[in-house]
Amino acid sequence: MNLLCDKHMNDGRRMRTSLLRVVALAVAGITATTALTGCGSSSDAGQGGAQTLRVGTLGDAPPNVYQENGVYTGFDNELFKAVADKAGYKVEFVGTDFSALLGQVANKTYDAGSSAIAQTEERRKTVDFTDPYNYEYISILSKDKGITDAKLLDGKRVAVIQATVGDKYLGATVPGAQVVRFPSYDTAIAGLRNGNADAWVVDLTIAEKYAKEDPTLAVTATIEANDLPHGFAVRKGNDELRGKLNDGLRAVIADGTWQKLHDKFIPSVPVPDKFKPKS
């Protein structure tokens, strides 16, 4: 009886040891797989990583960047998709606030930023940019059709989107204006309509869109800023991704895709010769 019991006990110990080894190997395998999965992310795009780019954008700034039926579209976003396709990437757009966008590109939350971003020296300290794909035109949108010059904004409550060129322009040009900063285009247009602001300094194409939809509003002045090109933002030092996007941009300009998207979304903006398709 004792010999039989000893045999059963030894067999039981061997079975438990084998099971423990199996469990240990399984856990090790899961851990290794998780570690390998964590090593790859879209932030490595352009450097041998995933081929889907996560792109930060806005959902409320038509016709440049906006959502339609839950899909991000607009001139800048459709152009980015065409450029990325030429460069061999897929695109996943993710909504954010403009004031946070460049920081999120810099910290690898997004691989790129698409939002009619003017390439200022201050912004170049945070991110790198692709070659220009358009130029900045800002305007004054107001119910008061008498505000035909930026100087007439002195003493008035003027809406801007926080951290945009309009924000910087107003502070530098009309220091007497009462600046009302909004986090989004939806809140800014609401502020203008309900009287919380007398005027709004905003991108021309966006202003024209709102004026067309609301006859109480008018674009009362336009400020051309040809020294401020628009570019797609990428993380500083990600030269491979920037280079591929630049190659894609040249391709969509040459084959007429840029012109087609311009004519669809922003036909009122002049087309510089450098963006016209090659004959």
pLDDT by residue (tens digit) across 122-143?
Answer: 999 999 999 999 998 899 999 9
Domain residue limits at 243: 49-133+231-267
How many angstroms separate the CA atoms of 193 and 182, rounded? 14
Same domain for 142 and 210?
yes
- In this structure, the answer to whether residues 197 and 252 fall within a common structural domain is no
The pLDDT score that the predictor gives to residue 227 is 74
Query: What is 204-253 written as a DSSP string?
Result: HHHHHHHHHH-TT-EEEEEEEEEEEEE--EEETT-HHHHHHHHHHHHHHH
Same domain, 217 and 89: no
Query: From the first residue on, what is the mean pLDDT of each consecutive set of 10 residues in the chain (279 residues)?
Result: 45 48 42 35 50 97 96 98 97 97 98 96 97 94 97 97 93 95 96 98 94 97 82 98 98 98 92 87
- Are 144 and 163 part of one and the same domain? yes
Whether residue 257 lies inside any domain: the answer is: yes
Look at residue 44 and tell me if it is in a domain.
no
The pLDDT, as a whole number, for residue 223 is 84
pTM of the prediction? 0.79
In a domain, 212, yes or no: yes
> Are 53 and 102 in a shared domain?
yes
| CA dist list (Å): 28 to 20, 21, 23, 31, 38 | 12, 10, 9, 5, 15
In a domain, 68, yes or no: yes
pLDDT score for 158? 98
For residues 43 and 131, what is the distance between their CA atoms, to the nearest angstrom?
A: 20
Q: Does residue 238 sit within a domain?
A: yes
> What pLDDT score does 225 carry?
64
Q: What is the CATH number of the domain that holds 197?
A: 3.40.190.10
**Per the structure, how many domains does the chain have?**
2
| Distance in angstroms between the alpha carbons of the first and the last residue of the chain | 99
Whole-number Å distance between alpha carbons of 207 and 140: 8
Is the residue at 258 inside a domain? yes
If asked whether residues 219 and 258 sit together in one domain, one would say no
Asked if 114 and 164 sit in the same domain, the reply is no
Q: Is the dihedral of CA 207, 175, 177, 125 positive or negative?
A: positive
